[in-house]
């Protein structure tokens, strides 16, 4: 298969945005799976709450496509697929009493990946002067950072 070469900063940004859309769709699916896998009602609720936020993040990304007049399509996100695959295999081999811990650690991995993806979008978008797009991407990044803190605190108290 012949791949299109990305030659400009705008083409790269468009491609990264398309991957970010796949990333958020994968996150939404993963959070549903983690909510089912978790045992504690509080932890299930935490995943469901972030699933609702993820829907807002998807809407923000769709808005960015519109603002920049980019075609809204998706591009591969093998990293998020890999994180989910690893979580599924670890959940499968873990006893029920360990599932909350595994689910939280996996969600934390996903959040950290999402944070890096948004930082990788925001810095070049800022350099390109795309102020409105940057504020939507920043809103998503802020939510990811907040969620990762929440997951970390919950994991910390679970294993204490």
Only one of the segments 27-35, 80-88, 94-102, 115-123 lies at the binding site for Fe ion (rule: CB under 5 A); that segment is 27-35
Question: Which residue in this structure is represented by tokens 């294993």?
Answer: 159
Length of the chain, please?
160
Residue whose CB is less far from Fe ion, 62 or 94: 62
Residue whose CB is less far from Fe ion, 100 or 114: 114
User: Is residue 147 near Fe ion by the rule CB under 5 A?
Assistant: no
Q: Which residues contact 111 (CB under 8 A, 6 or more apart)?
A: 144, 147, 148, 151
Encoded one letter per residue, x for contact with Fe ion by CB under 5 A and - for no contact, window 112-141 reads --x---------------------------
Angle between helices 41-67 and 131-159 (to 10 degrees): 170
Encoded one letter per residue, x for contact with Fe ion by CB under 5 A and - for no contact, window 28-47 reads --------------------
Closest CA to 82 of 103, 110, 120: 110
User: Dihedral angle at the C-alpha atoms of 1, 58, 89, 159, nearest 10 degrees?
Assistant: 150
**Which residue from 16, 19, 27, 101 is in contact with Fe ion, where contact means CB under 5 A?**
27
Binding-site ranges for Fe ion (CB under 5 A)? 27, 54, 57, 114
């Amino acid at each position: 298969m012949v791949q299109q070469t990305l030659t400009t900063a705008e083409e790269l940004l468009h491609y990264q945005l398309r991957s970010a859309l796949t990333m958020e769709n994968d996150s939404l699916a993963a959070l549903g799976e983690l909510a089912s896998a978790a045992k504690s009602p509080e932890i299930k609720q935490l995943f469901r709450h972030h699933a609702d936020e993820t829907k807002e993040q998807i809407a923000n990304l769709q808005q960015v496509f519109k603002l920049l007049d980019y075609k809204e399509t998706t591009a591969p996100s093998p990293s998020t697929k890999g994180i989910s695959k690893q979580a599924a295999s670890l959940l499968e081999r873990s006893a029920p009493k360990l599932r909350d811990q595994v689910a939280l650690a996996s969600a934390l991995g996903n959040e950290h990946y999402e944070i890096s993806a948004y930082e990788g979008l925001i810095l070049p978008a800022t350099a390109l002067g795309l102020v409105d797009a940057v504020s939507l991407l920043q809103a998503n990044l802020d939510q990811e950072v907040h969620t990762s803190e929440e997951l970390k605190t919950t994991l910390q108290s679970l294993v204490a």
